[in-house]
Structure 1
Amino acid sequence: MKLPPLNALRAFECAARSGSFSAAGAELGVSPAAVSMQVKNLEDWLGLKLFTRRANQVRLTDAGRDYYQKAAVALAEIASFTRALTEGGKRRPLVVSATPALAQLWLPERLKAFAAARPDVPVQLRIEDDSIDLEAEGIDARLSYGGEHPDHRMQELFTDRLVPVGADPQAGLDCAPLVEVNWGAAISSVPGWRQYFVQHGTARGDAAAAIAPSVPSAVALVQAGLGIALLPEQVIAGEIRAGRLHRLAGPALEMPRPYVLVTAHYKSRSRRLRALAEALGVR
C-alpha cells in the first residue's frame, strides 16, 4: 500500500482548510516553517504543486484543491472510526447549529422527519447567532440567513418574504403599535417597518413601540398583545397554522437573501448530511 507521509498529509490538510501556514502551525503546535516544510515534502512525494506562495499568503492550486477534498474526506473518516472505537461504540451526534429563528420556529418539524429517516443518528442542536467557525467548534451543519461562506458549501433552503402579523386578526397597519426586529450587526439587508411603509406608500412614520432582539422574541411580544410585527412568512408558518399568529391584510416584502445550509466541502459525501439536507427540503 503506497501512502504519502502522514505527518505531511496532516499538515497539508490543516493548511488547506485554514488557508494559512501560521494558522495550521498554531493548530498543530508547530511553527509555520515546519508546516511549510511538511507541505513541501508532500509536494515532492506527489510530484505536484499544491500551493502557490506569494509573500505571506498561500493559495491552493487546482491540483491542491482536488487533493484536499479527497484527503480531507479520508482523514475525517479515520477520525470518525477512531472516535467510535475509543468511545466504546457510542454514536457521534450530528452537530447542527442554527439561528434562534430557524432553531425554534422552523427546524423542529424537519428534525422530526430526519429522526424518522435516520433513527440511528442522534442530533445535537446548538442555537447561536452568526460568526460561527464550523471547523473549530466541531459543527457539521450550520443553518442561517444569508451570509458569506466562501470556503464552505452553501445550499439554499428557501427564500422568504416579510409579512405583517398580529395576535388580533383585525389589527390594522395604520394604527396598531409596531414591534421591530433587531436582526443584529451581522445582517444589514433585512428591511424593517420604515422601508415597508415607504415601499408600499403607507403614510406612517412613528417609531416602534417595542424592539425585539430576535424573531422568536418578536413572536412572543406579538402574542402577548404588544403590537404587530413584520416577520418572515415561511419561518413563522407553524405559528400561523396553529392560530397563535395571524397574517394581516397588507402586502409582503421580499427578503433579499436566502436562508442557507452551510457545510464543509469535504463532508459533501456524508450520508448523514445528505439525509439531513433531504429532510430540510434541499434537492
Structure 2
Amino acid sequence: MTKVIALANQKGGVGKTTTTVNLGIGLVRHGKKVLLVDADAQGNLTDSLGWHEPDNLHKTLATVMGKIITDEPLQKREGILHHAEGIDLLPANIELSAMEVSLVNTMSRETIMRNYLEEVKKDYDYVLIDCMPSLGMVTVNALTAADSVLIPVQAHYLPAKGMSQLLQTISRVKRNTNPDLRIEGVLLTMVDGRTNLSKDISFILRRDFGDKLKVFKTEIPMAVKVAETSAEGKSIYEYDKSGRAAAAYEALTKEVMRNGKQREKHQAGLSR
C-alpha cells in the first residue's frame, strides 16, 4: 500500500527540500519505489535533483493538475523524470503560481492533486510531496492528498508560533477534506549541538508538542555538505556518504519506515 507524505512548514529555509531528497533516496536505498512531487513554484526540489532550469521544462505538476481540472486525458507517467539515484520526480516551475490562482475558482479545488496521485501512486511504495513555504491552495491540495505530514523545524528559532499555524491548517484539512490525515512527526533540522540555542529549542519543542504529536528521535545536524548537495544535483549519500548528515538521514529513513510498519500492524489489529 502506497504511503503519501507531505513535507510542510510555511516557514522557509527549514530544510524541507533537502529532507525530501534525502529521505526519498534513503527509502530507495532500502529497496522502495519512490516518487517525489515538487509542489513549490520556485522549483527548488527540481533544481536540487539536477534540473537546474526548471522553467524550461514543458511538463510539470502544473501541467498534470491543469489536465485534471479540464478533464483532459493523461498519459501514464506524463511529466515524470527519473534521477540517476533511482528516484522519480514530478517537477515544478513558475507555472505552479498560476495554478494557485486557477484553483480558487475550480470545483472541488482541494482534491485536484489527490485525483492525480490516485492514478500514479500505484507504481510506488512512497510518494513525498515537497510543499511550498505557504499555506495556500496548492499546499492544501498536498495535505488533502497525503496520508501524513512530516514537519521539518529549523533549530535556530522558536518554532511554537509557526507550528501552531500549521497545526491549525492541518486540523482544518482533517475537518473538511481529509479526515484520515495524520502527523508523521516533527523533525529538527540544522541542529548545532554545540550551541545552547539548539539544545533549548529541542527541549522546548519536545516539552510543548511532545504529548500532542511525534517528535523524531533523529535530529539533522548543521552541515555545509548538506547545502552543497543541491548545486551538485546529488543526495547526501552520493556527495558525503560517511558524514554525520548522511548518518542522520539514514536514521530518519528507518524511523519513517518503522512508523509505517507500526501503523500497518495497528490497522491490521483493528480490522480483525
TM-score range, shorter chain: under 0.3
**In proportion to residue count, which structure has more helix?**
2
Higher relative contact order (CA 8 A, sep 6+): 2
Q: Normalised by the size of structure 2, how large is the TM-score?
A: 0.24
